[in-house]
Amino acid sequence: MAFNRKTLSGSALIVLGVLLVAVLLLANVLLRGARLDLTQGHLYTLSDGTRNILKSIDEPINLYFFYSDRGSQELPQVRAYATRVREMLQEMAAHAGGKLKLHLIDPLPFSEDEDRAASMGLQSIPVSAAGDKIFLGIAGTNSTNGQAAIPFLQPDKEAFLEYDLAKLIHELEVPRKPLVGLLSGLPLAAGFDPATRQMRQAWAVDQQWTQLFDVKNLDAATLKTIEPDMNVLIVVQPRQLPEDAQFAIDQFVLRGGHLLVFVDPMAELDDSGADPNNPMAAMMADKSSDLPRLFKAWGIEYDPHQVVLDRSRALAVSVGEGQAPVRHPGILGLTAADLNHDDVVTASLNTINVTSAGHFDLAKDAGDAKLEPLIQTSSDATSVASDRLRMLSDPSSLLADYKPGGSPYLIAARLSGKLKSAFPERKGEGVLAQAKDQAQVVLVADTDLLSDRMWVQVRSFLGQPLMNAFANNGDFAVNVVDNLAGSSDLIAIRGRATSQRPFTTVDAIKRSADDRFRAKERDLQRELADTERKLTELQGAKSQDQALVLSPEQKSELDNFLQRKVEIRKELRAVRRQLDAQIESLGTRLKLINILLMPLLVTFGALAYAWWRAQRRRAAQGGRP
C-alpha cells in the first residue's frame, strides 16, 4: 500500500511537470507578442500616433543602434538610458509587422563599426580625461538608400525619446523635403529695398527655412486654392487678405493642412505702403495684422490693437546717447519658465525675445477647440492699447498705472479641434463646412520675433554670412515648421514620463541640510570679517615700532575667534551627521516596510480571506436541511 502511494505520488508529480511544460509552451504560442505595461506613466506603451506611423511603413526600414556597451561600464546613467532606448526600439519593431529591422552594434575603438557610425552621421562624446569616447546614437536607412540619423541621444531628453524615434522613422518613410508654402506681408526674402535703393539680405529665419524645407512663395492677390500636397502653410503679417485667399486658407485647414500664423498688433518692420519721403506718416501708420473672420469661426479671441507688457521680463534698451539703458516692458526676454516644456517645439529652448506682441485667448463659444500654450508671459503682465507704444520716448512711462492681470498671456499657442468653416455660405463640390479630423494650427502673436535684431547677429566672413544667435527665436521658428511638416500622427506624440525615479524625500532632506550648512558657513564668514575688522582697528591704534607685536586686546580677539571657529565647525559636522542619520533612518523604515510590513499585510489578508471563506462555508452547511 505504501508502495502504491509512493508510485502514485511520483506519477502525479511527473504528470504535473508535463502539464506545466505544456501550459508554458501553449502560452508561448498563444500569448506571443502580448504585453502588459504596469510601469508608472506607461513607459513601454506606444502612443496611437506612433502605432499609426509604424503600421504605415510600406518598404523595410533598417535602424542601427550604435551603443558603446563596453566603453560605458563606468557610466550607470548612460547604461540605464541605453537600455531604455533599446527597449523602446524593440517595442516599435514588434508593432511594425516585420517592416522595421533593428540592428544592435557596439562600435569598439578603431573598429570598422566605429568608422561606419561616423560615416552615418553619428557623434562620439569624450567620457574621460584619457580621451575615451562612446557612441549612443541611431542611424536608419530605407529601401531607396535614403539615410537619417540621431547623432547622439541625450539622456536629459528622455521625455521626447518616442517622438524623436518616430520622427526618424517618418523621415525614412517619406524621404523628400517637406513642401512649405509662405504667404508673407513682410520682406523675409532677399530683394530690392526701395527705401535704401539697395539689395537687402534675406532674414536669417528665411534662410533657415529655405535650407531645411522646399519653400514656395505664394501671392495673396492670386491665391484661390492651396495644393493638397503642401505640408505646411506659413502666413506672416496678413493684412487685408482678399476673401479668396482667406477661403483658400480656411479650406486648407479643414482638409487637414497644417497652418502656422504670425500676426502682430504692431509689426515694427512692416514698411508696406510706407512713403520714404514722409517718415512721420510711416511711423504713425497702422502696422497691425489680423485674420478676424477665420479667428472668429475658430473660436479665437485676438485684439489687433492690444499689446502685452511684462515688467518682470522687460529688456533694457538704449534711449539716447550718454543715457543709461532703461527697461522696456513692451520688449520682453521670455525665459525657459515661460515656455511649454511638455511640447517638443519649445522643450529644449531657453530664451525667446518678442516686442510689442499681442495675445490670444479661447472664446467661450469655441466648442471643442483647444488652445495649448507654447509661449506665454509671466503672471506679472498686463495689456495696453498699441497706440501707447507709438512715438514712445520714455519706456518707463508704460509703468504708470500698471496693473498686472495676475495670469499669463498667451503669445504663441497650438489650436486643435474639429474647426468650422468661416465661409458657411460657400457651397460646391469639395467645399467643407467642418474639419473631418483634428485641425493642426499654431498661432503666434508677434512677427518681430522673426527679425534678425531680436535673436541673431549676422556678419560676413569670407563672403559668407556668419550667424551668432543670442536667443532661440530661430530655433522656435524651425521647430514649429519641422513639427507641423510631419504627419498628424507625429504631431500628436507629446512628451512622456521618464524612467528616472528620483528620491524626492532624500533630496528634500539634503536641501534642508545644505541650507543649514550654508547658513553656518555664512555665520563663520561674517564672524571672520568682524574679527579682521577689529584686528585692523586695533593695529591702527598702535605705534610703528609695535606694529608686528600682538597687543593683549588683539590676542584675546583672535583667541575668541579661533575658539568660535572650532565650535562652528563642530556644528557643521553635526549638521552633516544629522543628514546622514535622517537618510539612514529613512532607509531603515523603507526596509522594514518592504521586508516585514508588506509580507505581514499579505499574510493577514490571506488569513482574513481564509476565515471569511470558512465562515461562508459553515453558514452554507448550517443552512442545509
Per-residue pLDDT tens digits for 281-325 = 666 678 999 999 999 999 999 999 999 999 999 998 887 777 778
Same domain assignment for residues 477 and 517: no
Percentage with pLDDT > 90 across the chain? 40
For residues 463, 469, 475, 477, the Cα torsion angle rounded to the nearest 10 degrees is: -70
Q: How confident is the model at residue 200 (pLDDT cuts 50, 70, 90)?
A: confident
Same domain assignment for residues 108 and 130: yes
Mean predicted lDDT score pLDDT of the chain: 82
Identify each DSSP E strand in 318-359 by its residue range: 326-334, 352-355
- Give the end of a domain, one of 125, 148, 172: 172
- Give the end of a domain, one of 451, 485, 519: 485
In the predicted model, is pLDDT for residue 216 greater than 50? yes
Same domain assignment for residues 537 and 592: yes
Check residues 353 and 192 and name the one with the higher pLDDT: 353
In a domain, 532, yes or no: yes
Counting every residue written for the chain, the total comes to: 625
In the predicted model, is pLDDT for residue 336 greater than 80? yes
Tell me what the mean pLDDT of segment 112-118 comes to.
Answer: 92
Q: How confident is the model at residue 344 (pLDDT cuts 50, 70, 90)?
A: confident
In a domain, 616, yes or no: no
In a domain, 191, yes or no: yes
- Give the end of a domain, one of 153, 172, 191: 172
Tell me what the mean pLDDT of segment 241-268 comes to.
Answer: 95
In a domain, 19, yes or no: no
Q: Amino acid identity of 347?
A: A
The owner of cell 526676454 is 333
Q: How many CB atoms lie within 10 A of CB 64?
A: 21
Give, as one character, the DSSP assignment of residue 120.
Answer: T
Q: How confident is the model at residue 541 (pLDDT cuts 50, 70, 90)?
A: low
Tell me what the mean pLDDT of segment 98-121 comes to.
Answer: 92
Q: How confident is the model at residue 423 (pLDDT cuts 50, 70, 90)?
A: very high
Residues of the domain holding 529: 504-598
Q: What's the pLDDT at 499?
A: 47
Same domain assignment for residues 52 and 140: yes
Nearest to 290 by CA among 232, 237, 357, 224: 237
In the predicted model, is pLDDT for residue 355 greater than 80? yes
Domain of residue 92, CATH code: 3.40.30.10
Same domain assignment for residues 345 and 396: yes
Same domain assignment for residues 189 and 155: no
Q: How confident is the model at residue 602 (pLDDT cuts 50, 70, 90)?
A: confident
Same domain assignment for residues 446 and 565: no
In a domain, 43, yes or no: no
From 143-157, 232-246, 521-535, the region with the lowest mean pLDDT: 521-535
In this prediction the pTM is: 0.67
Tell me what the mean pLDDT of segment 42-52 comes to.
Answer: 77
Nearest to 153 by CA among 168, 142, 140, 138: 138
In a domain, 24, yes or no: no
Provide the number of structural domains found in the chain: 3
The β-bridge partners of 440 are 258, 416
Q: What's the pLDDT at 420?
A: 94
SS3 state at 509 = helix
SS3 state at 224 = coil
Same domain assignment for residues 535 and 435: no
Same domain assignment for residues 360 and 481: yes
Same domain assignment for residues 541 and 441: no
In a domain, 280, yes or no: no
In a domain, 42, yes or no: no
Per-residue pLDDT tens digits for 480-511 = 998 998 866 766 665 454 445 555 565 555 55
Same domain assignment for residues 460 and 588: no
Same domain assignment for residues 262 and 347: yes
- B/e letters for 202-224, b = 16+ CB within 10 Å, e = fewer, are bbbbbbbbeeebebeebebeebe
Burial class (CB in 10 A: 0-12, 13-18, 19+), 565: middle
Alpha helical stretches, state H, 72-120: 76-94, 112-119
Q: What's the pLDDT at 17?
A: 74
* Ramachandran assignment for 502, one of left (phi > 0), alpha (psi -120 to 50 degrees), beta (any other): beta
Nearest to 64 by CA among 172, 177, 144: 172
Domain of residue 399, CATH code: 3.40.50
Burial class (CB in 10 A: 0-12, 13-18, 19+), 475: buried
